[in-house]
Amino acid sequence: MNNRQNNLLKIIIETYIKTVKPVGSKSLVKKLKCSSATIRNDMAYLETLGYLEKTHLSSGRIPSEDGYKYYVDNLMKPKEITGDDVLKLQTILNNKELVVSDAILKCMEIISEITNYTSIVLGKDSKDQTLKQVNIVPIDDKKVVAVVITSTGHVENKQTNITDAINVTEIVKACEIINKHLVGTPLSDINAKLEYEIKPIIATKIKQYEEVMCFFQDAFNDFSVKQSDVFFSGKTNILKQPEYNEPDKIKAIISKLENTELVKKIETDEEGINVYIGEESKFDEDVTIIKTSYKLGSEEGTLAIIGPKRMEYDKVVYLLQFLKNYLER
Give yes or no for residue 217 having a pLDDT over 90.
Answer: no
pLDDT band at 50; cut points 50, 70, 90: very high
What domains appear along the chain, each with residue ranges and CATH number? 3-75 (1.10.10.10), 83-117+234-328 (3.30.450.40), 127-228 (3.30.390.60)
Residue 209: enclosing H or E segment and its boundaries? helix 209-228
Give yes or no for residue 112 having a pLDDT over 60.
Answer: yes
Computed over every residue of the chain, the mean pLDDT equals: 86
CB 128 within 8 A of CB 138: no
Rounded mean pLDDT of 31-44?
A: 89
Which phi and psi (to 5°) does residue 160 adopt? -150, 155
Query: So what's the pLDDT on residue 127?
Result: 56
CB 295 within 8 A of CB 303: no
- Within 169-320, strands assigned E span 230-233, 274-277, 287-296, 299-308
Query: So what's the pLDDT on residue 218?
Result: 78
For 7-27, how does the pLDDT look when each residue is reduced to its tens digit (9 = 90+)? 999 999 999 999 999 998 888
Q: Which stretch of 221-230, 248-257, 295-304 has the lowest confidence by average pLDDT?
A: 221-230
pLDDT band at 320; cut points 50, 70, 90: very high
pTM over 0.75: no
Cβ neighbors of 272 (< 8 A, separation 6 or more) are 292
Q: Which residues of 95-108 are buried (b: 16+ CB within 10 A; e: fewer)?
A: eeeeeebebbbbbb
Give yes or no for residue 1 having a pLDDT over 60.
Answer: yes
Query: So what's the pLDDT on residue 316?
Result: 94
pLDDT band at 258; cut points 50, 70, 90: confident
- Separate counts of helices (H) and strands (E) for the chain: 13, 10
